[in-house]
Every structure is written in structure tokens, then in C-alpha cells.
Structure 1
Amino acid sequence: MIRSLDDSQAKTAPWPLHAWYVAAAADELADRPLGRTICGTPMVFFRGSDGQAVALEDFCPHRGAPLSLGFVRDGELVCGYHGLVMGCAGRATSMPGQTVDRFTGIRRFAVIERYGFLWVWPGEAETADPAGLHHLEWAESPEWAYGGGYYHIRCDYRLMIDNLMDLTHETYVHSTSIGQKEIDEAPVETLIEGEQVVTRRFMDGIEAPPFWKMALRGAGLPDGEAVDRWQICRFTLPSHVLIEVGVALSGKGGYHAEDRWKASSIVVDFITPESETSHHYFWGMARRFAVADAALTDTIRTGQGKIFGEDLEMLERQQANLLRYPERKLMKLNIDAGGVRSRLMIDRAIAAEQAPAVDAAA
């Protein structure tokens, strides 16, 4: 019998389970198995004999050892404790000196390799719908260049969503790179577009901050002229935030300017819960200028990594404070609307998953 989804976790987890989460960058999965906890469940990822990615529960049915501490042999997972061999379907296929026909199986999770990432469905595998995976044009088109990285962050994944849906913090946390006082001064608008929560602000006739001066030079544009700047944050379930950002030479159309007058990008944020106080953060930037310039990709990746590193310290210490003072109520201001609405969308998705269980119990 293969272990099934823990109903108690499904009812109490602060994240939707029937959704696609980024589990790893595709190139993380090489010759060895990869262990990673996703939405509270330890999982092990490896490649079968056909090269396809497989995701199983990270639990050896013999003595409970993590299978991720083993190795891959002939497309099967060998436990590093006593040599039990686990097949791609989540059932033992052999073990030295033992008959394994009656061994308990373990869960297999639906997984897709697409856009340079491994996506996993933490809910029941038979409910997984590949068509529900978001289309990412920038990951497939030669008109875009992409560079990114990964951080493990010790805070509730929803705090990261709050952070990304309110970029007011850039003025203070990122004062030497992308922050500037005009972000505080520009009005922010929050709205719902289809299944997305959107926050946006536009800043016209301003000086570009250091990061964007570098981007202008990379795009072959002067970095000393006034620019029009934009930030459009889009939250999509279960926990993805894509942010359209850029600058255009002032008076050339701003966000709608022709490519020759601007440096524009999409900041990519895939936020995957690990536990209630930690998450996996896959970050990057896709751009539509100087796409063949590999050195510029490296420069942007380095600069962006430093920026996100500044967020990491702030968020982890924020989480520590919230755990220290759980009784304290937090303020909600107009700049928090994007995060508030994103959390409401998450809560509704969780409630929708729980509804069938509630109806069955009644």
C-alpha cells in the first residue's frame, strides 16, 4: 500500500496543495538524488533511466531513512542505509538478501520539467493538471535573456509575498541599488486582473538609481538623462510574483516606449513553502535588451543577488520578531493592499481544497 496524503496536514497547512510549485532548478538534478522539503513534506528528486525527473516521498519504508542520502543506480533510487532499491513508481524493487513484494510503498508526486525548473504538485498526484502550469514566454523566446539563483530563507513564505507586492521598502532596504525617494512619493494602485493581484506605480522624469543606470548602459542608452520608471507586481497562485520593471528615456512613452528607448525586465520570484517559517526562493531577472550579452547577464545576476540578500536579512529578522511577540497586532496601510489581497487569494484556495473534506464529513 502506498502512503496517502495526510488529511490532517491538508486541513491545517497554510498553503494550497493542489498547485504547481518550483522544487528546484532543472540543473540541480544531476547524478545524485536531491532532497527538499516542499509544503511540509520531505521529498526526494532524481532522474529515472529515461532521464525524466521523478519525485518521491523522502522516506525509506525499511527503517525510515531519508532516501535522498542514497544514490541513483540504473534509474532507480538506492537507500544509503541498507541498500533497499526504490523504483520510480514508489515501490521497492529489490534489497540485498530480502524479498520485497510485501514492502509498503511510498508516495510519488506529480512533477513537470519545464522552463528550466522542476515543478512539483504536493497534492494527490492524480489531481495534477499540467495545463494549469503558467505559460512563461520569457523562458522560451530567444528575444529574452534570463539569469537567476536560489536562496533558502527562514521566514513564512507569505512574508516574502508581502515584501514583493509592496516595493515601498526599496527606498530603505535597497537605498544603494534600486531604491529612491520617488518610490515613496509615487501613488500606488492595487487591483485584481483576472486571477492576478496587481500593484503598480509609475514615476516620470526622475533620475535612474544605480542599478538602472547600469542597465541603461547595458542597453546602449545614456545613463545621465531623466527617465520614466515603472513597477508592476503580479501575484498568481499558489505563490508566484512576477514584476515588470524598467526605465525609459523620459518623454519616449514610459512603459509603452519602443524597446530602443528603454531597459525593461521581469523580476522572477518563485516562492515555495518549506515549513511554516521557511521557504525556498528562486529568483531571477528576464530581460529584453542586450540578450546576447552573457557578461551583462552575470553582472545583473550578481547585482540582483546582493539586492535579494538584503531582503533575506530583513525578512528573517522580521520572522523572529513575529515569533517572539505572537500576540501583537500589525498595522495595515494602503501600501499593504497587494499583500493583503494576495493572502486572501491564498486563503480562499486553501478553503476550496478543504471544502470537499468538510462536505464528506457532514
Structure 2
Amino acid sequence: MRTSEPSTFPRNAWYVAAMAAEVQDKPLGRQICNARMVFYRAQQGQIACVEDFCPHRGAPLSLGRVCEGKLVCGYHGLEMGCDGRVIAMPGQRVRGFPAIKSYAVEERYGFIWVWPGDREQADAALIPPLHWHANPEWAYGGGLFHIQADYRLMVDNLMDLTHETYVHAASIGQAEIDETPCKTEVHGETEVVTSRFMHDIPAPPFWQMALRSNGLADDVKVDRWQICRFTPPSHVLIEVGVAHAGKGGYAAEDAHKVYSVVVDFITPETEDSMWYFWGMARKFNPGDAAVTEQIRAGQHKIFSEDLEMLERQQRNLAEHPERQLLKLSIDAGGVQSRKLIAQWIDREQPVQRPAAAQA
């Protein structure tokens, strides 16, 4: 028998909390998995994270400032340490104040990662490796959206790319996506992979632009691939690209293709809102900043279309909680990803043992 309230997200996991550039001289307040946190840079620029709650009067510490590596409350000047303990307060004796919660936090790959759950279980080795980061053969550009929708709707969206034909018809959508079946595989409790390979098709506008930017012809048939990899708690990395038809498709040499990884880090804020960190790492023409910005702007437009769809979907679902949604073959990636999320949540729930029989 479960004793705790049901949750919609695992807490003992690493989530992207911010882009590293968001946390500089000032503290940053952000709500993650229903917990209000404040991120700031302590001594030597080391990232720190504590509850966004001053133990004096409950003011948000994110409205304060950072002074010599200490977080200073903007209400009465109380100073906090990165371990959640009170350090000092002008004219007051505060050493006996109760500590607030501090969180395991890491800065890696240009992101700030936080572990909302049991700090003792946090292992930095579990942060997913991003092999393209700081690799001169790759370039990256991305951004952040705040979306009023259940984070699992975004997982569904990214693990079923048939929606591209309709939502993104002017950029990456094409009928061949609908016409080509996809394959979904589950690898234990660590990964769901949905893949689709299309052969001898025209390149849609976005990929025509990518081909041109790499000095390749954009008016010939191509082979196209989409390989969506979900890993708990809510990360989706999608290998995408096109190669001139007949050159080997996904396995083609770099001279004949444009290859990228769409980066999607989806962080629940509450049960019906999320932080969506998006971007694209590309392995072609990495030194061209104009191409990076062109792709980033194109992605921004594409994901803005998703944002509108998901927020309206969320409103519909909230208004009709009694309705059961259909599950089709194209939904397999999202369905299996949700099963993994549920498994991760379930193993965090304490089990109430039956009371000993009374004499």
C-alpha cells in the first residue's frame, strides 16, 4: 500500500535547471518539480542551490544578492551559506536558525543540473554525456521556453514525429513521414528509441537550407532519418539529418550529408507547466556563426508552433479529465516513455508495511 501522494515526476534524477549563462552575478529563482529553488554562484564561481526561502521571514532569497560568495536576503540582509545554514545577519544572533534545504547541483555542458530529491543519492556520473559539447567538429545553438502544459505532453510530442507533417508543414514536415512506419524499442528502464528511415525523397525546406549551408546540392533526392532517444526522467535527444540518396543514408560519409542532434531537456515546473530547454548540435559547417543563428531562429519558430499546440491541448485535457485518449501505433514511443517515467516514480514511493498482529 502506498502512503505518499501520487507524483507525476521522479525527483531522484538530474534535471536541467538553467543554462549556465543565466546564473552570473545575480541569484536566479526557479521552480522545479514543485520546489522553489534559488541558484547562485558561491566562492570561485561554484554553482550552488538552496531553497528559495529565507528562514527569517520567509522572503524569497532569489530577490537578494550575492556578496563574496554568500547569498544575502534582500529583505533584512540575512546571509546564507551554500549548505543551507545561516551565516550572519546585521545586528542579530542567528547562528541557531534552522537550516533550509540545499540541493545537489552540477554545472556541465553549458547547463546547470539539479537533483530535486534525496541529496545522498545524487551521483554526477548519472548526468547524460553530451559528446558534442566543446568539440570543434560540432556547433550548438538553443534556447528556453516556459510552457503551460504537463511535461509528459512534450515527451509524447517528441517521441512521435508524425505531427511534423501537420504542425510544421512549412519547415520540416512532409508526407513521407506519415507514409514511413517507425520502429520503437525499449532498453530496460533506461531508454526508449523510436526510429524512422526514409529513402529517396525530396528534402523539406529546413533540410534544403542545411544542405546549402554545407555546400551540397539541395535539389536532389535524399535519404532522411529520425532517431528519437528518450532517457528518464525527461530527456529526449533526436538524431536527425539527410544524405544525398544512394550515398549510405544515416551511415553516409560527412561529405554527403548533414547530421544533427536535436537537444530536448524537459524539466517539470509543476504538474501542468514546464521549462523546455531546446537546441540543435550539428556536425557540419561548425565555424559559421550565421548558420548557427539561422538554425536557432528556425528552431525557435518550429518549437513555438509546438508550444501553442501543447498549451491548448493541456487546456482541453484539463477541461475533460474523464475522456480516455486513443493510443495508436504512432504513439508507441510516447506510451513506452511514460511507462518508464511511471516506473521511476513508483520506485521512489515508500511502502507501508502491514502492522504486526495484536496479541
TM-score interval (norm. to shorter): over 0.9
What's 1:200 paired with? Answer: 195
Deviations 1:24-48 (A, max 9, x none): 0001111000000011100000000
1: CA distance between counterparts of 2:260 and 2:129?
17
What secondary structure sits across from 1:138 in the alignment?
coil
What's 1:305 paired with? Answer: 300
What secondary structure sits across from 2:261 in the alignment?
strand
Residue 33 of structure 1 pairs with residue 61 of structure 2:
no
Match of 1:149 among 143, 148, 166: 143
Residue 228 of structure 1 pairs with residue 223 of structure 2:
yes
**Unmatched 5+ stretches in structure 2:** none
What secondary structure sits across from 1:211 in the alignment?
helix
What's 2:282 paired with? Answer: 287
User: In the alignment, residue 301 of structure 1 is paired with which amino acid?
Assistant: R
1: CA distance between counterparts of 2:10 and 2:353?
19
2: CA distance between counterparts of 1:80 and 1:104?
19
Residue 322 of structure 1 pairs with residue 317 of structure 2:
yes
Alignment of 1:1-362 (within 5 A): 11-193=5-187, 195-354=190-349, 357-358=350-351
More helix by share: 1
Give the TM-score taking structure 2 as reference length.
0.96
Q: Aligned-residue CA RMSD in angstroms?
A: 1.3
User: In the alignment, residue 123 of structure 2 is paired with which amino acid?
Assistant: D
Give the TM-score taking structure 1 as reference length.
0.95
Deviations 1:237-296 (A, max 9, x none): 110000000000000001110010000100000000000000000000001000111110
Structure 1 residue 140: deviation in Å?
A: 3.5
What secondary structure sits across from 1:143 in the alignment?
coil
Structure 1 residue 193: deviation in Å?
A: 3.4
Structure 1 residue 359: deviation in Å?
A: 5.3
**Unmatched 5+ stretches in structure 1:** 1-6
User: In the alignment, residue 242 of structure 1 is paired with which amino acid?
Assistant: L
More displaced stretch, 11-20 vs 219-228: 11-20
| Percentage of matched positions with identical amino acids | 64
1: CA distance between counterparts of 2:92 and 2:6?
39
2: CA distance between counterparts of 1:342 and 1:87?
38
What secondary structure sits across from 1:338 in the alignment?
helix
What's 1:4 paired with? Answer: none
Structure 1 residue 326: deviation in Å?
A: 0.8
Equivalenced residue count is 353
1: CA distance between counterparts of 2:9 and 2:133?
26
More displaced stretch, 96-105 vs 216-225: 96-105
2: CA distance between counterparts of 1:287 and 1:11?
42
2: CA distance between counterparts of 1:23 and 1:150?
11
Structure 1 residue 115: deviation in Å?
A: 0.4
User: In the alignment, residue 25 of structure 2 is paired with which amino acid?
Assistant: D
What secondary structure sits across from 1:267 in the alignment?
strand
